[in-house]
Structure 1
């Protein structure tokens, strides 16, 4: 009897999630409300000031181009873990960023959300349309003014294990791999595969950027293994060790 009740509750919850997802897929009004809520929510967060300085270094070319200067920079591929994405998008400022999103029903909602926040998107994943999405992103990045953002263990994990897409993109776009970690002072972690984090209102959010590296060799399995190991080690080493 108890198991039957649990199954009924689980089915109802699943139906509710599908209805909410379909509503956001078909209604621009709902996505607009979500975007407004996100902006207001992120304004309550206390971002570390060193973060803004570091972002300004990458932001300089974009700002100068807005003023009419014909300058070309080196594009970067911002690489982070899937569970730490939420607070990062707000710090985009003048950066022109293309995000790789999953070509799924949930990914379609995320794509619409990101576009309304002013980001570019390329839809694809390791299972479907991934190569096409990466080549499209690389084409956008060729002039050195568009950067990319990839959750390197997404969209389905394994958690904190880097996949190869970022390295292919970096090679095609002559871009630099740049590891990024976010440390949220207080957050709620969802019971999902990635333990996705939402910082609580007014929490401090620190963003750490690694030195990164360029992809300089042919993408053999041996070299990709080296790149994965290096990226994972840099990402692990970015957050301060807790006592």
Structure 2
């Protein structure tokens, strides 16, 4: 059987098309939007913190926002990078497992040169699910940037239970509520791993509290 190679660019373009169509069917509501759109906050190049399983509705909802995303160096990451770029995002390649420090350095460079914030799926690329890894904290501290937690709460969704993140795909014509948390300004952490871990746990609590009453 002959295998026909398909480029990530083509797959990404097809996926982006379907994501756009799918998003048009959703009823999207945003809470605490002023935090995210505040010009003073955007000038501080915030680090936007997401959970991996909630990214589907968040990508098209923020198309053209002129931000960068940290994306895994895996083959799936290559496809995701193409999807993100089609929505106007810049991509920085790397993850906690592959090219992590290089990705953080590249992300800091993009923040400095382009004056943009960075989007992190803080429990990616392989989990554990809903556990904040230190990459976003490290970057925010060295960039002098606030962290903004963002959640997407879906009224009805197909949950992929076999996936490590239990990825959520909102059903067409369902409601999606995007919640922007207040910015978190990190204290000076130094290089103490224990303090870094405490800060990660604190951010987990903040993320888990968003949308709790929806």
**Same-fold status (TM-score > 0.5):** yes
Task: Report the aligned-residue RMSD.
Answer: 2.3
Match of 2:182 among 191, 196, 211: 211
SS where residue 205 of structure 2 aligns? helix
Structure with higher Rg: it is: 1
1:6 matched to which residue of 2? Answer: none
1:194 matched to 2:194: no
SS where residue 88 of structure 1 aligns? helix
SS where residue 43 of structure 2 aligns? coil
Structure 1: unaligned runs, 5 residues or longer: 1-18, 63-71
TM-score (norm 2): 0.89
1:231 matched to which residue of 2? Answer: 203
Superposition deviation, residue 239 in structure 1: 1.6
Structure 2: unaligned runs, 5 residues or longer: none
Note the 1:4-15 alignment, pairs <5 A: none
2:212 matched to which residue of 1? Answer: 240
Structure number with greater CO (CA < 8 Å, separation at least 6) is: 2
1:118 matched to 2:88: yes
CA distance in 2, matches of 1:27, 1:210: 34
Give the structure with the larger helix fraction: 1
Is the 2:147–2:183 Cα contact (8 Å) retained in structure 1? yes
1:83 matched to which residue of 2? Answer: 53
Is the 1:139–1:173 Cα contact (8 Å) retained in structure 2? no
Runs of 4 or more above 6 Å deviation: none
1:43 matched to which residue of 2? Answer: 24
Superposition deviation, residue 144 in structure 1: 7.7
1:171 matched to which residue of 2? Answer: 141
TM-score (norm 1): 0.79
Superposition deviation, residue 213 in structure 1: 1.5
1:31 matched to which residue of 2? Answer: 12
Is the 1:142–1:174 Cα contact (8 Å) retained in structure 2? no
